[in-house]
Structure 1
Amino acid sequence: MRAVGAVGGAFVLALTATGCGLGADLGGKGEKIAIGIKFDQPGLGLKTADGSYAGFDVDVATYVAKKLGYSEDDIVWKEAPSAERENLIKNGDVKFVVATYSINEKRLKEVDFAGPYFLTHQDLLVRGDEVSITKVEDLNSKKLCSVTGSTSARNVKEKLAPKAGLQELGGYSECLAGLEDKKVDALTTDAAILAGYASQQQHWGKFKLVGLSLSDENYGIGLKKGDTALKGKINKALGEMVSDGTWRKLVRKHFSLSSYKSEPAPAIQN
C-alpha cells in the first residue's frame, strides 16, 4: 500500500474508522477506491493464502480502476457475497462491484450496471472420464450437486431434469470433493465459475465441462443507481479493454487450463 502524507493518511484512517467513505470518488493521486469482488471463486475472484487477490474479475476491476485514475495500490478490495452486493453499492461501501454479477431486471431496480463485460451460460461439470452425461436430461438418473439455495440447481431440478437427485452443500469446493469421490455425478452453476475450479492446478484433468448453455448470464459491473457519469467512464474503459487486446489476454490467462470455451466479448449496453 502506497504511503500518503500525514494529513491524507489521517483522513483515510478516519474514513476507515467510521466504516464509510472508501466508496466515494475522492479524486487525486494516491487516494483510495473500494471495489467489491468475490473472495472464494478461483479464476474469477479469489483471496489467496498469502492475502493477495487473483482472477478474471480482479484483473478487469484493476484495469477499470486504472482508467479511472487509480493505481493498483489505491484499490481496497471488499468481499462482495452474492446476497450483499446491492447493499454494498447502495450504502456506499464500494464504488462498484465486479463479482460474477449477472445483469437482470430484479437487480436493475436497485442498482445500475456498466457493461456487460462477459457472457457465460449455466453448465455442468463432470469427471474427466464421464461419458454418460452429454445433455441435461441425462441428470434424471444422476446425482446433481450445487450450493444451498442455488438458482442454477433449482433451474435444473424444477425445469430441466426434475428426477435428478439434487444434493445441496455449503460451497462449490464441497461439491467438487463429492464429484471427485463419485458421491455425486455433476455440479452445476455458471460455466465460468466451473472453469475456474477446473483450472486450479490440483484439479487439472480431473474434471470437464459438458458444454451446455442452460441460461445466458451477462456479467456487469454494478454501481449506484443514477450514477450515469461513472457508468459512462466504466463503459469507456471496458471498450478500451476489448479493443487493446487486454480482454482476450485475461480470458486466456484465467480459463485456458480447462475445457471452457468462452464467448466473444459481449456488446456494451450504453
Structure 2
Amino acid sequence: MNKRLSSMAGRIMRAAVAAVCTVACVLSVSACGADDEAGKIRIGIKFDQPGLGFKKSGTYVGFDVDVAKYIAKSLGYSEDEIIWKEAPSKQREAMLQNGDVDMILASYSITDDRKRVVSFAGPYFVAGQDLLVRKGETGINGPQDLNGKRLCSVTGSTSAVTVKEKFASKVQLMEQPGYAECATALLSGIVDAVTTDDIILAGLASASRGRLRVVGKPFTVERYGVGIKKGDTKLASQINNAITEMIQDGSWKRAIDDNTKGVAYTPNAKYNPPTPTEGEKK
C-alpha cells in the first residue's frame, strides 16, 4: 500500500513539475517577445505592393516605407528600431484597435467609415484610381474606353467596388487576390487593363521593366493617411509635422521619383503634395 501511494505521489509530483516548466517556458517566450519590441516602433505596411510597400530579400522598400522611415526618425526612432508588420487591407482597423501596431502606412485611404473606429494623420499622398495597360495598347486612353473590355482588380478593394458601381454594364471584371496576379493576367493577355490607385499601378509598371504603362486619367480621389489609434491627436500632430517637413525639404518628391523609376508618372498636381491636417484637435 505504501509503495502504491509513494508511486502515485511521484507521478503527481512529476506532472506538477512539468506543468510549472511549461508555464515558465510560455511566460519566458512571451517576455522575450515583449523585450524584442521594447523601445521600438511597430509600423504596418503592405508586403506585396511594388513601389509602395514591398518585402524584398528580407528588406522593405517603397514610397510608404520611405514615408514611414521619415516619420519614425522625426519621432526619435532609428531604422533598426522599426518593427515592420504586414497589414493586409481587411486587418488594418483590428491591428490598430488591438495595439498590434503603433501606426499603419499601407495605401490606407481616409474614409468616414474608417474614422469611426481609428484615427488618421496626413494625408501624405493623394492618389486616384487609374488604369494600367500593355505598353502598345492604343485603344484604352481612359475610363470612357472600357466598353466591352476585360478588367482586373483585387477582391474586396475599393477599386473593385468602384468598377462594379460605375462600369458594371460595360466591363467584364476579373478579381484576383493581389495586384501581382492582375499584372500577370494583363501581360499574358487574359485581361485588357488593371485598375487601382495610380501610384500602385506606377509601381507595377516600374516592376514590369517597360512592358506596362499607366494611362494617366484618374477618375477618383484617394487620400492616403497614416492610421493610428482612435483619438490620439498628439501623435497625429507629430506625424503631420513630419510629413510637412518631408515635403518641404524635398524628401517627399525624391521618394516618389525613386519608387516610380522608368515610368512616365507624375502625381496629380491638383492635390499633391497635400496639406496634412487630419486627426488634430480642431
> TM bucket by the smaller chain?
0.7 to 0.9
Alignment deviations for residues 104-142 of structure 1 (CA, whole Å, 9 cap, x no partner): 100111111111000110000000000011121321211
Within the candidate set 22, 26, 40, 1:32 is matched to 40
Which structure has the bigger radius of gyration?
2
Relative distance call for 1:15 and 1:251 in structure 2 (3 A) is farther
Q: 2:212 matched to 1:207?
A: yes
Following superposition, the deviation at residue 153 of structure 1 comes to: 2.3
**Which one of 15, 33, 54 corresponds to residue 17 of structure 1?**
33
* Counterpart residue number, 1:123: 130
Out of 71, 80, 96, which is 1:73 matched to? 80
Conservation of the 8 A alpha-carbon contact between 1:64 and 1:234:
yes
Shift of 1:147: 1.5
* Equivalent of residue 45 in structure 1, options 43, 53, 64: 53
Structure 1 runs (4+) deviating above 3 angstroms are 12-18
**Unpaired segments ≥5 residues, structure 2:** 1-27
Equivalences, count: 249
For normalisation by structure 1, the TM-score amounts to 0.87
The verdict on how the C-alpha distance between 1:118 and 1:111 changes in structure 2, with shifts beyond 3 A counting, is same
Match of 2:222 among 202, 217, 220: 217
Aligned 8 A contact 2:128 2:218 in 1: yes
- Contact persistence 1:140–1:165 (CA under 8 A): no
Gaps of at least 5 residues in structure 1 are 1-11
Counterpart for residue 105 of structure 2? 98
Query: Are the structure 2 counterparts of residues 61 and 13 from structure 1 closer, same or farther at C-alpha, using a change threshold of 3 Å?
Result: farther
Q: Are residues 221 and 234 of structure 1, via their aligned partners in 2, closer, same or farther at CA, if it must alter by over 3 Å? A: same
| Alignment equivalent of 2:265, drawn from 252, 260, 264 | 260
C-alpha change, 1:149 and 1:207, in structure 2 (3 Å) is same
The separation in 2 between residues aligned to 1:233 and 1:74, in whole angstroms, is 18
Question: Cα offset for 1:16?
Answer: 5.5
Aligned partner of residue 147 in structure 2, secondary structure: helix
Q: Which moved more, 1:150-159 or 1:206-215?
A: 150-159
Q: Is the 8 A contact 2:131 2:142 kept in 1?
A: no
Equivalent residue in structure 1 for 2:147, among 140, 153, 160 = 140
Quickly say closer, same or farther: Cα 1:95–1:16, change in 2 above 3 A.
farther
Distance 1:104 1:15, change over 3 A: farther
- CA RMSD in angstroms, aligned pairs only: 2.0
Amino acid at match of 1:206: R
Q: Which residue of 2 aligns with 1:228?
A: 233
- TM-score norm. by structure 2 comes to 0.83
Please state if 1:56 is matched with 2:72.
Answer: no
Provide the rounded CA distance (Å) in 2 between the counterparts of 1:240 and 1:254. 19
Larger CA deviation: 190-199 vs 168-177? 168-177
Is this contact kept in 2: 1:21–1:93, CA < 8 A? no
Distance in 1 (CA, whole Å) between partners of 2:47 and 2:90 is: 14
CA contact (8 A) 1:157 1:163 kept: no
Does the residue aligned with 2:152 lie in a helix, a strand or coil?
A: strand
Percent identity between the two aligned chains: 51
Partner of 1:247: 252
Higher helix share: 2
SS at match of 1:129: coil
- Counterpart for residue 161 of structure 2: 154
What is the letter of the counterpart of residue 144 of structure 1?
A: L
